[in-house]
Amino acid sequence: MVKKLLTIFVFFVTFTTLSQETKILLSGKVIDSLGIVKNANIINRQTNQGTFSSDDGRFRIFVSEGDSLQISTVQHITKKIRITKTIKDLKSITVTLKQNTYVLDAFDLKRNDLMGRLTADLKGVPRSRKDSLLSKVLDFSNINFKQKDPTIDAVVKAKPPIVNTVPNSFGGAGAGAKIPFRDSERLWALRKKLERKKQFPYKIMSELGEKFFFEKLKIPVDHYFHFLEYCNPLGVEELHKENKILELIKIFQKESVPYLKIIKKE
């Protein structure tokens, strides 16, 4: 008889423990007096698993009966909720948070005996000793700017004329000199060509896709740029400029075979 009672008791305890440990996916919503609360931090304190409320204030988290949820944000007072059997059976919960009020430390407005009026307080504010010294150093009231220094003029006149040694440029060209139209046009074309060459690997990747190069052609990711340089003598950049994509694909498919053999030997 005792053994039967003991068996029943152990079975009851085991069943109760298992029922409590059974996890469910709890759906919830976080709100306050103004409406929904997004980006609230929800943590199950028993499992240390957490999530965030979405833009419409909703969240989902695994819980068991007896677990404790902690809901917190910067703007609200932290709230803790214990998962009861009722909440577990409903599989849904709405959490209402209270706004948090921050109180700043008091500070003294009468530290310099100010009255609160700008015109009156400016006269009473103590001046820094550094400010007074700086004003003396920067005092130009006694300087006659119309008077010229003959020594400076002599030094300027004694300087030799600047000789322009740059070919195909105008005499006396300085920082503000203009580049001839033909040269500027040529430089612009060169800059445009270099920019197109720089952007080619990224454009062709976005157009043909990663699967084409890394799965179909089996080009290793770290050899992608090297493979394009390998194909460059065949005019792949010009073909791309002329929008001849089919010809580009044929070249890449054909050249990938010998290229893979080369890098395999290396």
Query: Where is the domain boundary, 48, 65, 96?
Result: 96
**Residue 131 is assigned to a structural domain of this protein:** no
pTM comes to: 0.36
The 3-state DSSP class for residue 231 equals helix
Residues in a beta bridge with 44: 49, 69
| Total tally of structural domains belonging to the chain | 2
Helices (H) and strands (E) in the chain, counts: 10, 8
* Domain membership flag for residue 137: no
Please give the pLDDT value at position 15: 46
| pLDDT band for position 115 (cuts 50, 70, 90) | low
H/E element holding 79? Answer: strand 79-82
- pLDDT tens digit string along 117-176? 666 666 665 555 445 555 655 555 666 666 665 555 555 555 565 555 555 554 444 445
Last residue of a domain, one of 49, 80, 96: 96
Domain-embedded: residue 243: yes
**What burial letters (b/e) apply to 139-172, b meaning 16+ CB within 10 Å?**
eeeeeeeeeeeeeeeeeeeeeeeeeeeeeeeeee
Q: For the sheet with 68-72, list strands across it.
A: 49-52, 41-44, 68-72, 79-82
Answer yes or no: is 129 within a domain.
no
Range of the domain at 255: 182-265
Across the range 42-57, mean pLDDT stands at 92
Q: Residues 166-212: pLDDT tens digits?
A: 555 544 444 455 555 566 777 777 787 788 788 888 888 888 888 89
In a domain, 245, yes or no: yes
Q: Is residue 241 part of a domain?
A: yes
Report DSSP state, residue 90.
H
Instruction: Check: CB of residue 57 under 8 Å from CB of residue 97.
Output: no
The separation between the first and the last C-alpha atoms of the chain, rounded to the nearest angstrom, is 81
pLDDT at 121: 62
Query: pLDDT per residue over 60-99, tens digit each?
Result: 999 999 999 999 998 899 999 999 999 999 999 999 999 9
Render pLDDT for 26-47 as a digit per residue (tens, 0 to 9): 999 999 999 999 999 999 999 9
User: Residue 112: pLDDT above 60?
Assistant: no
Q: Closest by alpha carbon to 84, among 26, 42, 37?
A: 26
Of 79, 96, 113, the one marking the end of a domain is 96
CA distance 97 to 263: 62
Question: Residue 132: inside a domain, yes or no?
Answer: no
Across the chain, mean pLDDT equals 77
CATH of the domain at 61: 2.60.40.1120
Residue 161 lies in a domain: no
